[in-house]
Amino acid sequence: MHLSDLQAFLSELSENNHRAWMAMNKPRYDILRNEFLELTGALINSLQRTDPAIANTNPAKALFRINRDVRFSKDKSPYKTIFSASIVPDGRKKPSEGGGPAYYFQFDAQGVLLFAVGEYLPPPHRLRQIRDQLISDGNGFLDAINQDPFRSNFPAILSEGRLVKVPRAYPAEHPMGEWLKYKSFIAVNEISYLGMSASEVKNQLLMAFESAKPLIYWLRTSHHIAVNAYPE
């Protein structure tokens, strides 16, 4: 993947976010999208060796469209200025569907590579499943997020929108009380991809995602994923 070309394209798109510019630069976009698709496919092929649940994931379904949904937005810019993908067992699902934990990554116009694992603002029924799992297997969750490789790649769990109090359905003094306040269970990190090669980016993402598999498996347990989705 030609990352310098990608950054240049996204930067120019940020300054010319309209359909006429995209039409003129469609050949550039098509080349970059195919390269991004290849990177996503290579990641899936590597990750599936220890996570067979994603073995049949179609890379094309993992990619998010560059077109923005502007129906309910004041910003009518027609295109996103990122390339992004979300790897989950059944292809990309909307958060509102509670599709379970994902391996997510994106490149932006400023040269930042963001990568994340887990579930961002899951819907109420899914959030209840995760919180119930915190009650029944809190130690498993803590073991997953406190391993050194995970901490090195993901310094913290995103606390956006965290509640002030433990939800009423759960004991206020429970040892996992602070975690029961969370609305998202997703770990995020950002690095600059400027000057990196495609193979370096792939290796960085693979290392980070491999370190997060204990958290992925723990979240899937709360989601009642089939037993054969886990490595022995």
What's the whole-number mean pLDDT along residues 61-79? 90
What's the pLDDT at 223?
62
Contact call for residues 57 and 216 (beta carbons, < 8 A): no
What's the pLDDT at 154?
96
What's the pLDDT at 232?
35
pLDDT at 230 over 60: no
Of the chain, the percentage scoring pLDDT greater than 70 comes to 92
pLDDT band at 72 (very low <50, low <70, confident <90, very high): confident
Per the structure, how many domains does the chain have?
1
pTM greater than 0.85 (yes/no): yes
205: amino acid identity, one letter: L
Residue written as token pair 């009380």: 177
Residue written as token pair 């073995």: 55
DSSP of 25-88: THHHHHHHHHHHHHHHHHHHHHHTTT-GGGTT--HHHHBPPSB---TT-S----B-SEEEEEE-
pLDDT band at 15 (very low <50, low <70, confident <90, very high): very high
Residue 25 exposed, middle or buried by CB count within 10 Å (0-12, 13-18, 19+) = middle
pLDDT band at 159 (very low <50, low <70, confident <90, very high): confident
What's the pLDDT at 150?
97
Q: Residue 47: give the domain boundaries.
A: 3-229
What's the pLDDT at 56?
87
φ, ψ for residue 75, nearest 5 deg: -80, 110
Q: Residue 145's CB: how many other CB atoms inside 10 A? A: 19
What's the whole-number mean pLDDT along residues 64-92? 89
